[in-house]
């Protein structure tokens, strides 16, 4: 019976965590076609689910105060049955709800509609499932099982369930199941969960602990004070905030890889599993031996080569990767015996290891930008360093929580405090930090706060001095880094550079480089503007570059200095303009170069105008710097749709035109420019065709780290073509380092009977031309006019000449057609890049 108790309770908590983790991506995909990706929508969703989770923990905390287990079972069973009603009627289907009960959301204020939909479709089921972890652990604590006095190991099952869904959703669930099938699977999972809860209730009621055992535990019980509870909140807040900050930093400043967010969240959950579970020492020993080997393979490039070649022989053929041991590899190999001894030891020795690693990883990560200026550090290595910081902070803070856990009678208070701290961490990063800081400094700042928590550990009497020295060093590191980061967050970059250069002696190169790395990642460019909002860190930089012109008839050279303005989100370039000399401002560069596909597209558009005699009407999803406006002629109409208000301000609504002038210059040439703020798909759907249909619709709204899937579905493209002239075209920039969108659009065009052309172009630094991939989709091939016949030969000194021309898109039937009900990001990942 003891085995049955353990298996059933663990399985129930595991299943509940899987269901909880699956709700948010499922509901998000359901809501995107209705509301788009505006910040108000997703902030509302986040607050709604976190409030429900906190409410579930509070409910469990109050329910356990009822002394009768039977009454608790009746109450829990009743709300569980009630939760089946919305699942049976709507089954997560927002479209059914919109048709039968609620009207479609209003443009002015969709939040009441959103809250109503969330409450009716997912509110009660999510609330019921969120009560599981604390409530079932409390029930288990009242049984006769030998582990009932310390049921916290069951929390590891909860986090293991969360991690399972985290890994399964993008790689297994999303590619295999449509949204409707996922909703149905969740409903069946909820029914299984309900049966398991009933089994837990029956086992708990038939295997109650003896009265002597209960009274013995109660006599040793002591309620935690407010200081202890606030400590729990703080220890939960720090890793939660750091996980979000680390994810943001990795995906915007290191490698904007889709699905990279999985790694920080997986490590965050793993830390809970490690500190709350009862894992035998030999497993830690094995992990410590395998971890350096895995890192070595990751570092050497052997894993990348496996993806490229499709076989494992690449690992054996070490000639490609070289396995040339650098400092990091030598440290890993030499540190294996030390790691094995630490990991294989007692939990206290493991805790000491993470306490010592915390300040070292913090110093290393904060110094990384400075190190990268002198040493070429691959993306993989930089990612590993940041993940090491996250794991060390999570292990220290969650380890402190595990060490300070109360008796089972106060278990629900403990989890309520932890949940509250986690919620605060999410709110701080998503809502508070963008308002408080111009730059992303909250990530290392919160890591510094972890040092200031002064984590403790047990030592023998004779070694008490070591604990004091260690705690002092850790706290001093946190205080020093924290103060510098706060200064970096509030002091303008130009002032910080000037003060650092004046106060720090340049002969102390290491300290000078480290402080400068905290101030700014780019010491050569002048920052004209720094902003933070829901969409991330936004920067406008100014730089000057020498330009040489050769006049052969006069046999003379003319040297000029051109000033460039560049728009960055994180470290991703979203456009650039030659700001000075002023007569060069219409010159198009980067992804929109006149020598590339865009130049040919507008050459075709001008030919269409000559044939029809009608000025072109152009729609653009994603304003950026407004570069496309440089091609606009007199009497043309440009309608631009942008979701980020800061982009609109810098590109169009700055009265002094301090940053970019493409849009204002187009107006001065006689073009009509209109900028609309909001989600592009929703705004186009609401566009009144009576105002005139578009000739061309450009879509340049993608970022490398995130994919607006709802802009690429069959339903979305149908709405685009509804707003186009009969011979209109949709033009999409699909350039991406990690994802191949060509088969997505080719499958879609083929399914609709449309025509698709694509041109891929290489980057040429000498003329500021970036590598791109532009796709053109039209109802018929004839609608593209002279475009298929256009192309360009490039002769670059020192390179083989090449020709950039248009070709048909290549479909991939196995990928399927993306719809509002189905998409598959993993299927288009460039695993062999």
pLDDT in tens, 378-396: 777 788 888 888 988 898 8
Q: 407 pLDDT exceeds 60?
A: yes
pLDDT confidence of 99, banded at 50, 70, 90? low
Least Cα distance to 749 among 718, 772, 722 occurs for: 718
The residues that bridge with 531 in the sheet, in sequence order, are 538
pLDDT above 50 for 320? no
- Quote the CA–CA distance of 573 and 763 in Å, as a whole number: 14
Q: What is the pLDDT of residues 362-380, one digit of tens each?
A: 777 777 776 666 677 777 7
pLDDT tens digits, 244-273: 888 888 877 777 677 778 888 889 998 888
Of 513, 523, 537, the C-alpha closest to 441 is 537
**H or E element that contains 426:** helix 411-427
Contact, 196 vs 76, CB < 8 A?
Answer: no
36 secondary structure, DSSP code = T
Q: 650-678 burial, b if ≥16 CB within 10 A, otherwise e?
A: bbbeeeeeebbbbbbbbeeeebebebbeb
The average pLDDT across 283-290 equals: 63
In the block, which residue shows the tokens 């990991």? 343
Residues 744-794: pLDDT tens digits?
999 999 999 999 999 887 777 766 778 788 999 999 998 888 888 887 766
Query: Highest mean pLDDT: which of 407-416, 428-437, 448-457?
Result: 407-416
As a whole number, mean pLDDT of residues 340-351 equals: 65
Calculate the alpha carbon distances from 251 to 261, 529, 548, 771 in Å: 7, 22, 37, 21
Q: What is the pLDDT of residue 118?
A: 84
Q: How many CA atoms lie within 13 A of 438 on its CB side?
A: 16
Which residue stretches of 428-566 are H helix? 433-436, 442-452, 464-490, 493-503, 509-519
Phi and psi at residue 593, in whole multiples of 5°?
-60, 140
What pLDDT is attached to residue 105?
A: 59
Q: What is the pLDDT of residue 787?
A: 86
Burial of 228 (0-12, 13-18, 19+ CB in 10 A): middle
Binned at pLDDT 50, 70 and 90, residue 306 comes out as very low
Confidence (pLDDT) at 721: 94
Statement: residue 41 has pLDDT above 90: no
Tens-digit pLDDT profile for residues 632-649 = 999 999 999 988 888 899
For 18-33, write each residue's pLDDT tens digit.
999 898 888 877 777 7
The token pair at 265 is: 């969240």
The pLDDT of residue 663 is 95
pLDDT given for residue 776 in this prediction: 95
3-state secondary structure of 802: strand
Report the alpha-carbon distance of residue 490 to residue 503 in Å, rounded. 18
- Specify the DSSP class assigned to residue 541: E
Mean pLDDT for 571-586 is: 86
pLDDT tens, position by position, 594-605:
888 898 899 989
pLDDT of residue 556: 56
The better pLDDT of the pair 351, 655 is held by 655
Is the Cβ–Cβ distance between 147 and 5 less than 8 Å? Answer: no
- In this prediction, residue 370 carries a pLDDT of 66
Per-residue pLDDT tens digits for 688-719: 866 778 999 999 877 655 677 888 999 999 99
Which residue has 């905390």 as its token pair?
61
Q: Residue 199 — very low, low, confident or very high, per pLDDT cuts 50/70/90?
A: very high
DSSP for residue 208: B
pLDDT tens digits, 495-540? 555 555 555 555 545 555 555 555 555 445 677 888 877 777 788 9
Q: How far apart are CA 512 and CA 515, in angstroms?
A: 5
pLDDT for 276 equals 85
Rounded mean pLDDT of 428-445? 79
CA–CA separation, 392 and 268 (whole Å): 10
Task: Give the model's confidence band at 198: pLDDT under 50 very low, under 70 low, under 90 confident, else very high.
Answer: very high
- DSSP class of residue 311 equals S
Give the pLDDT of residue 307. 45
pLDDT tens, position by position, 798-817: 666 667 888 999 999 999 99
Q: Which domains does the chain have, with CATH numbers?
A: 1-220 (1.20.1250), 226-437 (no CATH), 493-523 (no CATH), 596-828 (3.40.50.150)
Q: Look at the chain and count its residues.
A: 833
pTM here?
Answer: 0.82
**Exposure class string for 631-641: b at 16+ Cβ within 10 A, else e:** bbeeebbbbbb
* pLDDT of 577 above 50: yes
């Amino acid at each position: 019976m003891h085995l049955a108790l353990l298996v059933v309770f663990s399985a129930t908590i595991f299943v509940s965590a899987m269901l909880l983790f699956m709700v948010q991506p499922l509901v998000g995909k359901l809501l995107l076609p209705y509301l788009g990706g505006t910040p108000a929508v997703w902030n509302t969703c986040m607050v709604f689910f976190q409030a429900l989770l906190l409410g579930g923990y509070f409910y469990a905390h109050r329910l356990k105060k009822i002394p009768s287990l039977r009454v608790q079972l009746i109450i829990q069973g009743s709300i569980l049955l009630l939760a089946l009603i919305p699942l049976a009627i709507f089954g997560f289907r927002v479209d059914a709800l919109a048709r039968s009960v609620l009207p479609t959301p209003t443009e002015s204020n969709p939040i009441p509609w959103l809250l109503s939909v969330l409450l009716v479709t997912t509110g009660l089921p999510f609330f019921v499932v969120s009560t599981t972890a604390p409530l079932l652990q409390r029930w288990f604590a009242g049984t006769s099982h030998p582990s009932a006095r310390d049921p916290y190991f069951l929390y590891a099952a909860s986090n293991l369930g969360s991690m399972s869904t985290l890994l399964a959703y993008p790689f297994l669930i999303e590619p295999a199941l449509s949204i409707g099938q996922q909703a149905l699977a969740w409903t069946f999972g909820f029914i299984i969960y309900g049966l398991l809860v009933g089994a837990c209730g029956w086992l708990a009621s038939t295997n109650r602990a003896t009265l002597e055992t209960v009274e013995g535990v109660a006599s040793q019980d002591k309620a935690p004070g407010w200081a202890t509870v606030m400590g729990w909140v703080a220890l939960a807040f720090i890793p939660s905030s750091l996980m979000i900050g680390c994810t943001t930093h990795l995906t915007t400043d290191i490698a904007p890889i889709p699905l990279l967010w999985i790694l920080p969240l997986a490590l965050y959950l793993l830390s809970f599993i490690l500190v709350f579970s009862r894992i035998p020492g030999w497993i830690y020993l094995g992990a410590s031996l395998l971890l350096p080997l895995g890192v070595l393979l990751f570092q050497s490039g052997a894993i990348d080569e496996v993806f490229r070649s499709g076989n494992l022989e690449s690992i054996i053929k070490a000639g490609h990767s070289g396995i040339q041991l650098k400092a990091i590899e030598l440290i890993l190999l030499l540190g294996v015996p030390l790691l094995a001894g630490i990991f294989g030891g007692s939990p206290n020795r493991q805790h000491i290891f993470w306490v010592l690693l915390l300040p070292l990883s913090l110093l290393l990560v904060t110094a990384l930008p400075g190190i990268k200026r002198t040493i070429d550090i691959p993306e993989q290595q930089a990612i590993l360093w940041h993940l090491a910081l996250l794991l060390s902070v999570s292990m220290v803070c969650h380890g402190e929580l595990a060490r300070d856990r109360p008796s089972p009678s106060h278990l629900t208070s403990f989890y309520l405090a932890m949940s509250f701290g986690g919620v605060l961490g999410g709110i701080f990063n998503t809502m508070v930090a963008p308002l408080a800081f111009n730059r992303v400094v909250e990530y290392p700042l919160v890591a510094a706060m972890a040092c200031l928590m002064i984590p403790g550990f047990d030592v023998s009497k004779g070694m008490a001095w070591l604990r004091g020295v260690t705690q002092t060093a850790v706290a001093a590191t946190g205080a020093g880094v924290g103060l510098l980061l706060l200064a970096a967050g509030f002091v303008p970059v130009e002032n910080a550079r000037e003060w650092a250069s004046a106060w720090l002696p340049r002969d102390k190169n290491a300290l000078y480089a480290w402080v400068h790395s905290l101030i700014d990642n780019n010491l050569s460019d002048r920052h004209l503007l720094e902003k933070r909002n829901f969409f991330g860190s936004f920067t406008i930089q100014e730089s000057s570059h020498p330009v040489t012109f050769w006049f052969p008839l006069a046999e003379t050279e003319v040297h000029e200095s051109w000033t460039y303005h560049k728009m960055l989100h994180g470290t991703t370039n979203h456009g650039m303009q030659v700001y000075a000399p002023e007569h060069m401002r219409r010159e198009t560069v980067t992804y929109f170069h006149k020598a590339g596909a865009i130049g040919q597209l507008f050459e075709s558009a001008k030919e269409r105008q000559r044939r029809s005699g009608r000025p072109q009407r152009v729609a653009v999803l994603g304003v950026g710097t407004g570069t496309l406006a440089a091609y606009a002629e007199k009497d043309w109409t440009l309608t631009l749709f942008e979701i980020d208000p800061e982009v609109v301000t810098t590109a169009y609504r700055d009265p002094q035109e301090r940053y970019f002038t493409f849009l204002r210059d187009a107006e001065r040439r006689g073009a009509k420019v209109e900028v609309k703020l909001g989600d592009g798909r929703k705004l186009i759907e609401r566009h009144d065709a009576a105002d005139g249909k578009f000739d061309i619709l450009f879509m340049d709204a993608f970022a490398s780290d995130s994919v607006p899937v709802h802009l690429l579905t069959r339903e979305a493209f149908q709405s685009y073509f509804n707003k186009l002239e009969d011979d209109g075209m949709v033009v999409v920039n699909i350039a991406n380092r990690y994802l191949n969108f060509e088969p997505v659009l080719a499958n879609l065009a083929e399914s609709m009977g449309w025509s698709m052309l694509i041109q891929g172009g290489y980057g040429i630094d000498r003329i500021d031309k970036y590598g791109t991939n532009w796709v053109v989709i039209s109802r018929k091939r004839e609608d593209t006019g002279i475009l298929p016949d256009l192309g360009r030969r490039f002769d670059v000194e020192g390179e083989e000449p090449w020709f950039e021309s248009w070709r048909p898109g290549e479909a991939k039937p196995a990928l399927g057609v993306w719809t509002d009900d189905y998409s598959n990001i993993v299927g288009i990942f460039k695993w062999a890049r």
